[in-house]
Amino acid sequence: MELYPSLTQCAILATSLKILLFPAYKSTDFEVHRNWLAITHSLPAKDWYYEKTSEWTLDYPPFFAYFEWLLSQAAKYVDSQMLQVQNLGYDSWQTIYFQRATVIFSELILLYALHRYIQVSGSKKTAHAAALAILLSPGLLIIDHIHFQYNGCMYGLLILSITFAQEKKLLLSGLLYAALLCMKHIYLYIAPAYFVYLLRAYCLSPHVVYHIQFFNCVKLGVGILIILTAAFGPFVYLGQIPQLWSRLFPFSRGLCHAYWAPNVWAMYSFTDRVFIYVAKYLRLPINQDAVNSVTRGLVGDTSFAVLPEITPSQTHILTLLTQIPALIKLFNNPIPMTFLGAITLSAYSGFLFSWHVHEKAILTVIIPFLLLCLNDRRHLGAFRPLAVAGHVSLFPLLFTVQEFPIKTVYTVLWLIVFLVSFDKLAPASTRARFFLLDRFSLVYIAVAIPLILYCSLIHGLVFRDKYEFIPLMFTSSYSALGVVSSWIGYQVVYFSE
Amino acid sequence: MASINSPHKPRRKRKPNDYTSGSAQGSSTVDTLDDGTKRPNFPLVAFLWPAKGSVSQWLLLPCILMTIGLFRWVTGIWRYSGFQSPPMHGDFEAQRHWLEIAIHLPVSQWYFYDLEWWGLDYPPLTAYHSWILGKIGNAINPSWFELYNSRGLDDHLLKVYMRATVLVSEYVTYIPAIVVFVRRYIQQQGVSSWEGSIALVAILMQPATLLIDHGHFQYNTVMLGFAATCMANFLRGNILMGCISFVCALGFKQMALFYAPAVFAYLLGSCISPKINPVRFMSIALTTTAAFAALFAPLLLGALYDTYRGVPNSKLSEPPLLSALPWDVDSKSWYYPVLLQLTQSIHRIFPFARGIFEDKVANLWCTIHTFHKLHLYSSTVVQRAALAATSAAILPPCLILFHKPRKELLPYGFATVAWAFFLCSYQVHEKNVLLPLLPMTLLLAGHGGLTPSIRAWVGFANILGTWTLFPLLKRDQLRVPYFVLTLFWAYLLGLPPTSLSAYRNVQRGGLGLFAKFVHLSVYLAMILWHICEAFVPPPENKPDLWIVANVLVGAGGFGICYLWCLYMMVLKSGYLGVEMKSKVL
């Protein structure tokens, strides 16, 4: 049975809108990617990770560099000027059209992945709705087609890998994930889930834990080795691995990425900020340097006035610790549904507790969760605050007046259309739902409206340019509350299944 | 009613076939396959498929309005006419300039100030509208509308503000008008509300309107909105409100005159049949006069007040219309400023001194001019010829409306008369094609409006109309939005060049063979034209070859649209004996 509107129809709708967005605001990420086109096209591979004419050095893994090299082969026929490393900030209309068009083209992978996902799903109706929600996701629209990045294509690969796992093609799934990891290392957040799942379901016997499937281990090992060699081999040969590593994992940057990512550390910073005023009364020691820095939160390095400093290794340990319970359940119950749940929970931990998390990383949580949330009404209940919080937290990415109506109207439209249809589609759960969570999400969603109004309109009118960090802090704290509560809510659902 | 004392209204029961109007054999939107599964007939139906039957209008309507709003705003991030093209810039500068003069000059100067630089040449309602927008804009950033110094300004935030004013003006006038019109029209025609929503999206996504107002930059939708309000009021039998809305349309842009004969014939007809009704006639006459008086009052009172304040009007040059008055006007008399303003505004609004057409426009005169130069004749001869041709072309639809002032004939009447004006009248712009397109597109909401035949005709007119705007849009560097919006609209409605579904006769209500041939050959001509225009440079002695070709094809196609509207009008009015509801051309 065909379902309407079909995936293709929605893709045509979305593409029309995306082409019309060509002249919209573009962030420095546009220049970042143009610079990478230039680097990969005009320099030998040995210079790729050393080149620093532009401040936007290459800091993605090699497969992404190869991808840029591939694009540059077409770019030279469009406007060869964009391929000059020296041409900083070059943005002729040909360059803009070309780069924007490559984002749209690379999303064909996402389209194929979603098509395949619907094909293999048991419940076509809910899978179709989830696929449309991902295809039309405001997160992808804001980040890829306005702000400028290539997430659509990479989430396509991730969904394809998840689909392979559901088809029991575990080798293919694992190798595709390894390749994806060599393209963008943000997917390391979910590596533990992949590791445990492949270990248990592919390398060990799903029935008897101690029965090692030796041949599978060899296949997987050799496959991963080939992929890693293809990606990092040349740079190992050139002896550039330490340099490459320092580019990929810049721990010299601060704990919070410009205050925006709505995670635990944003709440921690917010608490610290509040403590500055409370500390006087409690006679707590205050770090005066941190108080005096007016731009706090806008620059990378955040230091705390009252609360203790956080180190990178503390964040790693915390991330792993919070992932472990979900992984244990996955190890004991290695079925595709639990795997998807473990991916989502690993992504949650990575987003909530990691070092220097970008606000864009929320998509690593939202997109796997979108595939899950139509399981039953309890899943949907946990998803709702995330849907609102995750997308609202992306709003500060676009701060220009012209793009304000686009981001807000599109997101609100998406939330209405999909939350209402999900409500109709999600089957009732066999277990009791949590009254509290349902009420919470209603109140939570309602608060979003005055918050957005304040941050985008009222604050500007009252304070003009002063206290710019306040709207950012409100947005990220509000969103953090939503993300954390949906995380807790989903954990209850996951562990009680 | 039994529950007359109960505070609860009984919920209106949904009729079983409420969402699939039409006969049992199949509807115009849903195809039933052999195995009983249902399939949408064109993509727009598919997009509204989940809303079929169960979704409340209170949810569906906001979603539709948000979607079409997004497309409007996103069109607006492209360039506008005259962006960074000195010395005169374009329509954007004209509109911005009017905001500037409206807030900085005394009312009496509005129609006189520096006419060489985009002097005000629209009726007073536009001036008042500019005044309000100017006041708001001035509060945000005074430098945008500083007198004289702000000319040719292309500040990015100014652009955003001006785009927002177009969008807000449209959401205040045009969009509610279309929503109300569609709701009343589907009730009157017995169409389901779901199919009404499909028609609503198709109407509100009309590419020509989006491209001219949000791309090129103008406020046409405000005038079109008043005209649609007028029709909606007529549909409801609210004649007087209709008159006031029409005066507002005329008062915003004189181009609403394209509809005036239809309005006049309908009103006059409704005073005579079914019985002669002098009271109605008098009230119409009085309301219209009062509305006009109210429209001009602020301008004229402002002029009197300025005279009283001592703002000199001696420097204002006397308009030719005033000198042409049969008696001598004393420039000292108290009514002199009033006459001066009135005649000057009329002189500015109706520029008979300009040529018969501006640039190249797809109408009769430009077509004749291609083969036989019209410069050979004096402008009086040409004006008379235009008057005669227009009168001849509007006479049949007006006579029908006068004889049978029936509500279902209104959109046909408006469309036919507007096509007649577009094709035959004097001083027509290519943008004026929006006027006949609006009532013709509204037919989608009528009975059988989504059947292949009407869909094909409405689509044909719209796509041809947008195509004739291409040379203008190309000058504004709006080629990409032109292609995206036109092709997307064609895709939504399942029309060429994206699909031939409306031309396959699998069900009744399809097109006749001749119409198919005409449509498809015009579509083919449009495609070939785009290829030639893009890749083949015109010969040196004929630099305008492609534009002329565009005009010729356009004029031919519009002429056919005029004939179709007229034919449908005759058919619907029942002159041909049996009222043939389903069999159409």
**Rounded CA gap, B369 and B265, in Å?**
32
Residue-number span of the structural domain to which A38 is assigned: 7-235
Give the residue from chain B lying closest to A414, CA to CA: B63
> Do B70 and A409 lie within an 8 Å CB cutoff?
yes
Above 70 in pLDDT, residue A275? yes
Chain A interface, best mutation among B73, B78, B479, B491, by max A CB count within 10 A: B73
The burial class, CB within 10 Å (0-12 / 13-18 / 19+), for B110 is buried
Contact A392, A452 (CB under 8 A): yes
**Rounded CA gap, B304 and B154, in Å?**
36
Residue A290's φ and ψ, nearest 5 degrees, are: -70, -35
Give the contacts of B484 (CB within 8 A, at least 6 positions apart).
A16, A19, A20
State whether ipTM is beyond 0.90: yes
B66 to chain A, closest Cα gap in Å = 7
A420 interfacial to chain B (CB closer than 8 Å): yes
**Rounded CA gap, B176 and B301, in Å?**
31
Above 50 in pLDDT, residue A166? yes
Q: Specify if A57 maps to a domain.
A: yes
| Averaged pLDDT, A249-273 | 77
Longest dimension (CA), chain B: 86
In the block, tokens 């969009």 appear at B175
Above 90 in pLDDT, residue A282? no
Q: Cβ atoms within 10 A of the Cβ of A199, count?
A: 15
| Averaged pLDDT, A159-182 | 96
Query: Are residues A93 and A189 located together in one domain of the fold?
Result: yes
A8 interfacial to chain B (CB closer than 8 Å): no
Question: A183 versus A281: which is more confidently predicted?
Answer: A183
Q: Residue B44 to residues A6, A398, B253, B260: CA-CA distances in angstroms?
A: 11, 31, 32, 33
Query: Are residues A452 and A350 located together in one domain of the fold?
Result: yes
CA dihedral B538, B540, B544, B547 (to 10 degrees): 0
In the block, tokens 């609360």 appear at A307
Q: Specify if B420 maps to a domain.
A: yes
Which helix or strand (DSSP H or E) is residue B38 part of?
Answer: strand B38-40
- pLDDT score, position B356: 62
Residue B440's φ and ψ, nearest 5 degrees, are: -65, -40
Query: Residues of B at the A interface (Cβ-Cβ below 8 Å)?
Result: 37, 39-40, 43, 45-47, 49-50, 59, 62-63, 66-67, 69-71, 73-75, 77-79, 156-157, 160, 480-481, 484-485, 487-488, 491
Residue-number span of the structural domain to which B443 is assigned: 173-276+355-573
Query: Are residues A71 and A213 located together in one domain of the fold?
Result: yes
Q: Cβ atoms within 10 A of the Cβ of B114, count?
A: 13
- Buried/exposed B484-520: b ≥16 CB within 10 Å, e otherwise: bbbbbbbbbbbbbebeebbbeeeeebbbeeebbebbb
Distance of CA B345 to the CA centre of its chain: 23
> Do B59 and A413 lie within an 8 Å CB cutoff?
no
Which residue in A4, A13, A402 is closest to B77 by CB distance?
A: A402
Q: Specify if A417 maps to a domain.
A: yes
**Rounded CA gap, B71 and B65, in Å?**
10
> Do A420 and B74 lie within an 8 Å CB cutoff?
no
Q: Specify if A414 maps to a domain.
A: yes
> Do A19 and B480 lie within an 8 Å CB cutoff?
yes
Instruction: Report helix, strand or coil for B40.
Output: strand
Give me the DSSP letters along B493-535: TT-TTT--GGGS-SSSS---HHHHHHHHHHHHHHHHHHHHHHH
Question: A474 versus B302: which is more confidently predicted?
Answer: B302
Above 90 in pLDDT, residue A458? no
Q: Which is nearest to B446 in space by CA: B170, B176, B198?
A: B198
For chain B, residues with pLDDT lower than 70 are 1-26, 313-316, 352-359, 505-509, 577-585
B156 to chain A, closest Cα gap in Å = 9
Question: A224 versus B339: which is more confidently predicted?
Answer: A224
Instruction: Report helix, strand or coil for A364.
Output: helix
Cβ-Cβ contacts under 8 Å, A6 against chain B = 46
| Averaged pLDDT, A110-115 | 98
Q: Specify if B493 maps to a domain.
A: yes
Residue type, B542: K
Q: Cβ atoms within 10 A of the Cβ of A203, count?
A: 18
Q: Specify if B218 maps to a domain.
A: yes
| Averaged pLDDT, A333-361 | 93
- Cα angle, residue B47 at apex, residues B46 and B51 outer, rounded to 5°: 95
Which helix or strand (DSSP H or E) is residue B30 part of?
Answer: strand B30-32
For chain A, how many structural domains are there in total? 2
Q: Which residue among A207, A235, A263 closes a domain?
A: A235
> Do B50 and A421 lie within an 8 Å CB cutoff?
yes
Q: Specify if B248 maps to a domain.
A: yes
Query: A497: pLDDT confidence band, cut at 50, 70 and 90?
Result: confident
In the block, tokens 């420097």 appear at B315
> Do A401 and B43 lie within an 8 Å CB cutoff?
no
- pLDDT score, position A443: 87
Give the residue from chain A lying closest to B49, CA to CA: A4
Query: Are residues A228 and A326 located together in one domain of the fold?
Result: no
Q: Specify if B165 maps to a domain.
A: no
Contact B207, B466 (CB under 8 A): yes
Q: Specify if A468 maps to a domain.
A: yes
**Rounded CA gap, A180 and A361, in Å?**
15
- pLDDT score, position A1: 64
Longest dimension (CA), chain A: 69
- pLDDT score, position A433: 66
**Rounded CA gap, A374 and A476, in Å?**
27
In the block, tokens 């959109």 appear at B411
| Averaged pLDDT, A226-241 | 95
Q: Specify if B57 maps to a domain.
A: no
- pLDDT score, position A441: 82
**E runs forming strands in B108-253:** none
Query: Are residues A230 and A344 located together in one domain of the fold?
Result: no
> Do B66 and A413 lie within an 8 Å CB cutoff?
yes
Query: Are residues A231 and A319 located together in one domain of the fold?
Result: no
Contact A486, A344 (CB under 8 A): no
Chain B interface, best mutation among A20, A141, A419, by max B CB count within 10 A: A20
**Rounded CA gap, A265 and A480, in Å?**
9
pLDDT in tens, A193-221: 999 999 999 999 877 778 888 999 999 99
> Do A413 and B67 lie within an 8 Å CB cutoff?
yes
Query: Are residues A217 and A321 located together in one domain of the fold?
Result: no
Going by the DSSP 8-state scheme, the letter that residue A357 receives in this structure is B
Please give the structure tokens belonging to residue A123.
């419940």
| pTM of this structure | 0.94
Q: Which residue among A235, A267, A292 closes a domain?
A: A235
Work out the angle between the directed axes of helices B57-76 and B174-189 (0-180°, nearest 10): 140
Please tell me the number of Cα atoms within 13 Å of A431 on its side-chain side: 13
For chain B, how many structural domains are there in total? 1
Q: For the range A219-227, what are the long-range contacts, defined as Cβ-Cβ under 8 Å and sequence gap of 24 or more?
A: A219/A171, A220/A171, A220/A174, A220/A175, A223/A171, A223/A174, A223/A175, A223/A178, A224/A174, A224/A175, A224/A178, A227/A175, A227/A178, A227/A179, A227/A182
In the block, tokens 């917010």 appear at A270
A197 to chain B, closest Cα gap in Å = 37
| Averaged pLDDT, A474-488 | 89
Query: A279: pLDDT confidence band, cut at 50, 70 and 90?
Result: confident
- In sequence order, what are the beta bridge partners of B30? B40
pLDDT in tens, A2-16: 899 999 999 999 999
Q: Which residue among A179, A206, A235 closes a domain?
A: A235
- pLDDT score, position A420: 92
The burial class, CB within 10 Å (0-12 / 13-18 / 19+), for B165 is buried
Please give the structure tokens belonging to residue B317.
């040059």
Residue type, A374: L
Interface of A with B in 15-44 (CB under 8 A): 16-17, 19-24
Q: Specify if B423 maps to a domain.
A: yes
**Rounded CA gap, A388 and A448, in Å?**
8
Q: Which is nearest to A135 in space by CA: A119, A165, A155?
A: A155
- Cα angle, residue A259 at apex, residues A253 and A261 outer, rounded to 5°: 95
Q: Specify if B26 maps to a domain.
A: no
Give the residue from chain B lying closest to A407, CA to CA: B70
- In sequence order, what are the beta bridge partners of B575? none
Cβ-Cβ contacts under 8 Å, B43 against chain A = 5, 9, 12
What's the whole-number average pLDDT of chain A? 90
Q: What is the CA radius of gyration of chain A?
A: 23
